[in-house]
Structure 1
Amino acid sequence: MSSPKPVESGSDILSKNTSYLQYENSKNSSQENTSSNNGVWGSLVDSFKPAVQNTGMTSRMVSEEEERGLTDVERAALRSANSQLSRSLKTRHLQMIAIGTSIGTGLFVGSGSALSNGGPAGLLIAWSLISTGVFATMQGLGELSVTFPVSGGFNIYATRFIEPAIGFAVGWNYFMQFLVLLPLELVAASITIKYWNHTINSDIFVLIFWFSVLFITLLGVRGYGEAEFIFSFIKVIAVIGFIILSIVLICGGGPTHEFIGGTNWRNPSPFAHGFKGVCSVFVTAAFSFGGTEMVGLTASESENPRKAIPKAIKATFWRICIFYLVSLTMVATLVRWDDDRLLGASSVDATASPFVIAVVNGGIKAVPSIINVVILIAVLSVGNSSVYATSRSLNSLAEQGMAPKWTGYVDRAGRPLVAILITNVFGLFAFIAASDKQVEAFNWLLALSGLSSIFTWISINVSHIRFRAALNRQGRNTGELIYVAQGGAIGSYYGLILNLLVLIAQFWIGLFPIGGKPNAYDFFLSYLGLPVVMASWLSYKVWKRDWTLFIRAKDIDVNTGRINIDPDVLQQELAEERSLLAKKPFYYRVYNTWC
C-alpha cells in the first residue's frame, strides 16, 4: 500500500508558482475555443458561463488541499496571480486612461469651490504641491504594477507588503468610494442637461445614462478601454482648446477686447481666506486627483504591462502639468474668486463650473454649451470608470477571501460579471435625482469613503517602501526590476508625508470650517472616512484573530505573480536599450525620460 502524498508547505507551493504572465494570450484563446459554434447568439450566451480554467499557463495550479496549507497572505498572492480576468487592454488604452481618467468633475466643477475658498494663489500653490505627491506616489505604483501585474493592484499590494487587515480596509473603502461615485455622476450628468432644458424630469436622463454605462461595462475590459480612449481624447482636446482660448481672452482677443492680464490676481487679492483657505484647497486638490491610481488596477488586464504601464505612469506628469496646472492658471486669471456664481459650486452642479464662467465672462456665447457637453462626457467617463474600479476591487477582495466567493465570479469573456452587476444595480440609487433630499443623501454617502483616495495613496506609498525594504533585507536589489520608480523609496516617503499632511489639513478644516463655527455635522461630514477605515481594519483583526501589525521584511513574498524574466537576460536587454537611447538626440532622450 503506497504511502500518502505529503502536503507541500506554502513556501514550496509558491516557489513553483512563479508567474502568470508566461503565456501568450493562452487564457483568452482557450476560452474562445470553448465558445459555442452556433453563431453569434450562442457565443454571446456562452460568454456568460464561468471562465475556463487556464491550461496554457506555466504557473502551477494548486488543489484545495494544498491551498489549505497556505497562510492568508500566501493564498491571496496565489489567487491574484492566477486571476481569470481578460488581458485585452492595449498600450494606447492605458496611456489615455492615465491621461484622462481623473479629468472630471474635480477639475471642471470642483475647482470652482477651490477658487472661491483659496483664491488664485491658493489654488495653484495647493494643486502644485499635491501634484508632486501624486506623481511620486504613481511612480511607486508603477514599479509595483510592472513587477507584479496581478489582479487587485494596490489592494493586494497592501495585503502582501504591509498586512492583510490594511488590504481589507483599503480595498473595501476604495470599493465604497467608487460605488457611491456612480450614482453621483449619473445625477451630475442629469443636472448638466438642465443647462439646456429645465423642464424635463431629471430621472429620464438618469435612466438613459445608466443604460449607457451598463452597456459599456458589459462589453468587457476592451469595451471599457475603447470607451475611455474616446472619452479621454475628447476631454484632452477640450482642455487644450480651453487653454488656447483662455490665452486669447487674457490678452484681450475676445469679443469684449478687454485686456485682463493679472487683474484678478491683484483685485480682490491673491488669497481668499488666508492659510486656512489654502489648506481647504489642499483637500479639494487631493480629491480631484482621485482615480489616478486606477492605472494600477489595469495592470492585470494589460496585454503587455512591461511596456504599457511605464508609459502610462509617465503620462501622469503631463496630465498634472498641462491638464491641471496650466488650465487652472487660466481659470484663476479669468475668474474672480469672489464671483457669486462660484458660491453654488458642488459635485453635482456643473452650472458653477469656473470653465463655463470664464468663457461667459469673455463674451463668447457658443463655447459654454460646448464646455457643458465636455463636462457631460467627463461625468459619464467617471461613471464608467467607477464601475471598472468597483468591479475589479470587489473581484480582488473575493479572490483574497475578504468578500463572498460568489462576488468574484468571472465569465468566459474575462468579466467580473457579478461585481459589475452589483455596481450597476447600486447606480439605480441615482433616481433620487428628482428628490429635494438628493444633496444631503449624497453628502453622507460620500462621507463614508470621502478620504478613501488619501488612504489608498498612503497604502501605495507604504507598500512600495516595504517592498524595497524586503528586497534589501533578502539580499536583492532594483537591478532585477523591469521598471524602477524615478524617485525611489525617497519619493514614496515624500508622498506618504504629504498625504498625512492632507489628513491633518482635512481634520482642521472639518473641525473649524471656513466661514462657520465648529459643529459635529460638518466635522463628521468631512472626516467620517477615518473612523470607517479604522472600523474596517479592526473588524478584520477581530474576524481573523490576527493582531500582527506588519509583515516582517524577511517574510515578505517578492516572487509570486512576478513577470518571470531571467535577471541576466533582463540586464542585457536594458543595457541594449540604454545603448540605443544614448545614440539618440538630446531632445529624444528627454522625451523618453518623461513620456
Structure 2
Amino acid sequence: MGMTAESFKRRDETEANKHNKYNQTMKGRHLHMIAIGGSIGAGLFVGTGSALRRGGPASLIVDYSIIGVMMFNVVFALGEMALMYPVSGGFYTLVTRFVDPSWGFAMGWNYFLQWAVILPFEIVVASFTINYWTEGSVSPAIFMAVFLVALTFICCFGALGYAEEEFWSSFLKLSAIVTFLIIGVVLVCGGGPDTGRYNEFWGNRYFQDNGGFKNGFQGFCSVFVTAAFAFAGTELIGLAASESKTPLLTLPSACKQVFWRVTLFYILSLTFVGLLISADDPDLIGGNAFANSQASPFVLVGKYAGLFGYDHFMNVVIMISVISIGLSGVYGGSRTLTALAEQGYAPKFFDYIDKTGRPLYSTILILVLGLLAFAGVDPVNGVELFDWLLALSGLAALFTWGSICLAHIRFRMAWKRQGHTLDELPFHAALGVTGSYIGLGLCILVFIAQMYVAICPVGGGDDGSIYNSPEGFFKTCLAFPVVIFFWVAGYIWKRPTFLTIDKIDVDSGRRDIDWALHRQIQEKRANASFFMKIIYKLF
C-alpha cells in the first residue's frame, strides 16, 4: 500500500505496465462484492421514497426491472471487452477505440462529471442521516467534514483501500437487505407486533389503486431517472477488473452476480416496499435533492411496524452505504480523469500515478470537489446549487451504458470482419451481441421517456400549465447538452476521421491470456456434476 514519501513519487512506465499502470491488488472476493453490492446506496435506500410517491408501487417494480435488464446486458458487454483489453480508464477508452474518439472524449468527461457531482451529494445525504439522531441540534457541516476526512484517509491506501471498504460495506448492505426481506414476508402476512401497523394480513392493498400505477404514464416515466441513479456505478466492475490479480477467474463470475443483485436485492426488496408503504404516505419526500433517511421506505417500515431499534439499524446502513458510494465516486472519477490525461484529453499532470498505483492528482481534485458538500448547509442556495449539480448526473449514466453497448456491438462487428472467431474470446456476453442491442435499445427508450417527463412533468409546470419551465427542463436533462458540447469540442480539438469497422484495431493492447488455464477451467466445468454445472452457470 505504501504511505512513505517514496511511495508518492511518480511510477516509471515500463513495458509491463504500459497498458495498465495500476497495481493489481484487488482479490477475487473484492471483485465479487463490488459486483453484487457496490453501487447499492442512496438511490435504493432513499431515492425509492420519491419514486414511489411519483409513480406508485407497480411503476417502481417495472421500471427498476427494465433498468435491471439493461444493466445485465451492459455489464456482460463490458466484461467481455474488459477481459480482452486491460486498459486503465475502463469503458471510456473502449468507446474511444471502438466507436469514435470524439464521442469517447465526451463520454470520458461525462463520466468524470457524474462522479464529481455524486461525491458531494453522498456526503450531504450521509450527514443528514446523523440528523435522525441529533434532530438538528448539531450543524451538519461538522459531520460533512468528518466524512470527507474519512474518505481521504481511505483513499491514501489506493485501490486496496477502496476494495476492502467496498467488501465490508457491501457485506453490511446485503445483510441488511436480506434482513429486510425476511421482515417483509412476516409483516405482509400480518405477523407484526400488536403495537404496530402490520398486525393483520396486509396483502397487496396498495397495488389495488390504479393497479399500482400512480399518475399514469407520466408517473411511470418519472421513476426511470431514480432507477438509473440507483444502478449508477454498476459499470465500475470494468474499472476494477484492470486492478484485479486474476480477472480470468473472477470477472466472469462477478458479471453473473449482477443478475442476483437485480433480482434478489432490488426487485424483491422493492416489491415489499410497495406492499408495505403507500405511495400517498405523507412521510415520503417527493424529489428533493436533500432527501434524507427519515423519508426512506426501509426506515418507515420499521417505524410503522413498531420494531424497536430497526429504524436506527437501517439508518446506520444508509449512512455507511452513501459513504461507500462517495468512495466509489472518488475511485471512478479519478481513474477516468487519469485516462483522459493519458490520451491528451485533459491536462497532462493528471496522468500522474505514484509508485503504489494511486492516480494522485486526479484523486486530490475529486476530493477537493467534495468540498461542494458544504454548500448544503445553506437551506436555500445550497438546494438550488445541488439541483443544478445533480442535473449533470441525471442522464449521465444512460449515456455511459448506451455507449458501452454500442462499443460492444462495433467490437464484435470488427472482430468478425477481421477474421477472428468467438473461440478466441475468453469470455462471452451472456446474450452475445443481441444483448447489447437490447441494452442500447432500452437506453434509448428510457432516454425518450425521461425527455417526455422533462417537458411534461408530473403535476405540471410551475406556471400551472402541463409543460415544464426552461429551468425545470434543464434541471432534469442538463447532462444532454453537456454531452453534446463535449462531443463537438472533442471533434473540433482532435478532428478525428470517421472510424469505420475496417479501421478498428482489435489486436494491439490485448491481454496476455493464459489459455492453458482457460482450457483447464472449461474442462473442469465440462466434467463437473449436473448440480455443479448449474452452479457454474448461475455464478
Give yes or no for TM over 0.5.
yes
CA 1:544–1:268 in structure 2 vs 1: closer, same or farther (change >3 Å)? closer
CA-atom RMSD in angstroms = 1.6
Note if 1:374 corresponds to 2:317. Answer: yes
Note if 1:108 corresponds to 2:45. Answer: yes
* Max Rg structure: 1
Within the candidate set 250, 253, 268, 2:188 is matched to 250
The aligned residue for residue 23 of structure 1 is none
The aligned residue for residue 129 of structure 1 is 66
Distance 2:58 2:11 in 1: 53
How far apart are residue 338 of structure 1 and its match?
Answer: 0.8
Q: Which moved more, 1:487-496 or 1:81-90?
A: 81-90
The aligned residue for residue 456 of structure 2 is 512
Q: Which moved more, 1:120-129 or 1:155-164?
A: 120-129
Paired residues of 1:387 and 1:423 also in contact (CA < 8 A) = yes
For 1:93-242, list aligned pairs within 5 A. 93-197=30-134, 198-242=136-180
Paired residues of 1:345 and 1:353 also in contact (CA < 8 A) = no
Note if 1:393 corresponds to 2:330. Answer: no
Distance 2:280 2:308 in 1: 23
* 2:105 maps to amino acid: F
The aligned residue for residue 464 of structure 2 is none
For 1:490-505, list aligned pairs within 5 A. 490-505=434-449
The aligned residue for residue 284 of structure 1 is 226
TM-score normalized by structure 2? 0.95
Within the candidate set 459, 483, 487, 1:537 is matched to 487
Note if 1:406 corresponds to 2:353. Answer: no
* 1:543 maps to amino acid: W
The aligned residue for residue 265 of structure 1 is 207
SS where residue 99 of structure 1 aligns? helix
Paired residues of 2:158 and 2:357 also in contact (CA < 8 A) = yes
The aligned residue for residue 558 of structure 1 is 506
Paired residues of 1:108 and 1:353 also in contact (CA < 8 A) = yes
How far apart are residue 573 of structure 1 and its match?
Answer: 5.5
How far apart are residue 347 of structure 1 and its match?
Answer: 4.4
For 1:383-532, list aligned pairs within 5 A. 383-436=326-379, 437-517=381-461, 518=467, 519-532=469-482
* 1:563 maps to amino acid: R
The aligned residue for residue 354 of structure 1 is 297
The aligned residue for residue 306 of structure 1 is 248
Paired residues of 2:252 and 2:427 also in contact (CA < 8 A) = yes
How far apart are residue 283 of structure 1 and its match?
Answer: 2.5
Distance 1:521 1:491 in 2: 36
Cα deviation 1:144-172 (Å, max 9, x = unaligned): 01111210111000100011111110000
Paired residues of 2:23 and 2:243 also in contact (CA < 8 A) = yes
- What are the ranges of 5 or more consecutive residues in structure 2 without an aligned counterpart? 462-466
How far apart are residue 184 of structure 1 and its match?
Answer: 0.8
Distance 1:350 1:579 in 2: 49
Distance 1:455 1:464 in 2: 14
Moved over 4 A (4+): 572-576
* 2:124 maps to amino acid: V
Aligned length: 526
* 1:148 maps to amino acid: Y
How far apart are residue 345 of structure 1 and its match?
Answer: 5.3
* 1:295 maps to amino acid: I
CA 1:50–1:580 in structure 2 vs 1: closer, same or farther (change >3 Å)? closer
CA 1:267–1:537 in structure 2 vs 1: closer, same or farther (change >3 Å)? closer
Distance 1:440 1:469 in 2: 45
Note if 1:45 corresponds to 2:14. Answer: no
Q: Which moved more, 1:353-362 or 1:387-396?
A: 353-362
The aligned residue for residue 363 of structure 1 is 306
Distance 1:575 1:409 in 2: 38
Cα deviation 1:88-131 (Å, max 9, x = unaligned): 11111111111112110010011111111111111111111221
Distance 1:589 1:357 in 2: 42
Distance 1:105 1:449 in 2: 14
Distance 1:346 1:235 in 2: 24
CA 1:283–1:434 in structure 2 vs 1: closer, same or farther (change >3 Å)? closer
Paired residues of 1:150 and 1:299 also in contact (CA < 8 A) = no
How far apart are residue 268 of structure 1 and its match?
Answer: 7.2
Cα deviation 1:542-576 (Å, max 9, x = unaligned): 11233x34x1111111122212247xxx3x75555
- What are the ranges of 5 or more consecutive residues in structure 1 without an aligned counterpart? 1-31, 33-39, 60-80
Paired residues of 1:283 and 1:505 also in contact (CA < 8 A) = no
The aligned residue for residue 336 of structure 1 is 278
Note if 1:85 corresponds to 2:22. Answer: yes
Distance 2:480 2:155 in 1: 31
How far apart are residue 267 of structure 1 and its match?
Answer: 4.6
The aligned residue for residue 238 of structure 2 is 296
Paired residues of 1:458 and 1:499 also in contact (CA < 8 A) = yes
